[in-house]
């Protein structure tokens, strides 16, 4: 059980790096973006890397986005709703804890987080472009200084304005970016994640896919952390 909890904890830290990087164009684009994911870092063991996803699929339906990721026995699904400005993260923990739960962050909570932030991100845009998954991607540098760090973190992003805008980026790691990211390299506390879009397929998405299933129970972020840290309390 201890090894399972350690892997799940690592998965959650990776999710935090991903969960703010999914955007949708207001009212128009519907489709599926598939990313190839690579990892690096001295603290990442071969056993842990073997359980991490090598691919990420993001579904977009107008102002809504959804991504589902399998981390070994655990499935984590994130749904953003640009119409109401909320984000919900669903955790299928049936294989390890016999639970299905989700944490929802409202627009009010996101706005409060932005207002309380002491380190505002800085975005620089460049003329350089390249093609990614059949789309013209523009280059940007996103820099910010984490509150617990001395140095500024700089991230190079390749984005497309054809797929998305900044209406859903507020409050996230790439808050204010004026396009949908097609490639970026994201450092976390333990490892670095590089995501590159390999395909973008238009259509094949239904709005009903973005509803939260009725067999999930809503909990707070604090309750989730206590659940993971305590091994679920059932073992």
pLDDT digits (tens, 9 = 90+) for 31-80: 999 999 999 888 788 888 887 888 889 898 877 888 888 877 889 999 98
CB-side neighbour CA atoms (13 Å) of 177: 35
Domain containing residue 175? 2-233
Is pLDDT above 70 for 224? yes
Structure tokens, 124:
């620089």
Q: What is the pLDDT of residue 16?
A: 46
Q: Return the sign of the alpha-carbon dihedral for residues 9, 14, 20, 24.
A: negative
Distances (CA, A) of 63 to 40, 43, 114, 192, 216: 33, 37, 21, 29, 23
**Cα–Cα distance for residue pair 32/83, rounded to 1 Å:** 19
Structure tokens, 188:
């976390």
Q: What is the pLDDT of residue 3?
A: 52
- Mean per-residue pLDDT for 149-172? 77
Share of the chain above pLDDT 90, in %: 39
pLDDT band at residue 154 under the 50/70/90 scheme: confident
Number of domains observed in the structure of the chain: 1
Domain CATH number, residue 113: 2.50.20
Is pLDDT above 90 for 232? no
More confident residue, 13 or 203: 203
Q: What is the pLDDT of residue 146?
A: 67
């Amino acid at each position: 059980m201890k090894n399972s909890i350690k892997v799940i904890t690592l998965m959650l830290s990776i999710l935090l790096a991903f969960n703010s990087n999914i955007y949708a164009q207001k009212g128009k684009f519907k489709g599926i973006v598939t990313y190839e994911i690579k990892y690096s870092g001295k603290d990442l063991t071969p056993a842990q890397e073997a359980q991490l996803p090598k691919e990420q699929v993001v579904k977009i339906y107008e102002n809504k986005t959804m991504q589902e990721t399998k981390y070994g026995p655990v499935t984590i699904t994130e749904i953003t709703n640009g119409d109401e400005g909320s984000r919900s993260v669903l955790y299928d923990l049936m294989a390890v804890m016999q639970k299905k739960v989700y944490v929802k962050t409202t627009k009010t909570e996101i706005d409060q987080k932005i207002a309380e932030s002491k380190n505002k991100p800085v975005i620089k845009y460049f003329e350089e472009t390249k093609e990614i998954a059949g789309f013209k991607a523009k280059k940007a540098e996103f820099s910010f200084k984490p509150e617990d760090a001395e140095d500024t973190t700089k991230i190079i992003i390749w984005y497309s304005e054809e797929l998305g805008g900044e209406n859903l980026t507020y409050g996230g790691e790439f808050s204010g970016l004026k396009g949908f990211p097609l490639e970026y390299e994201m450092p976390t506390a333990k490892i670095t994640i590089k995501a590159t879009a390999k395909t973008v397929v238009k259509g094949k998405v239904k709005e009903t896919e973005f509803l939260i299933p009725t067999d999930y129970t809503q909990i707070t972020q604090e309750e989730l952390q206590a659940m993971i840290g305590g091994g679920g309390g059932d073992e």
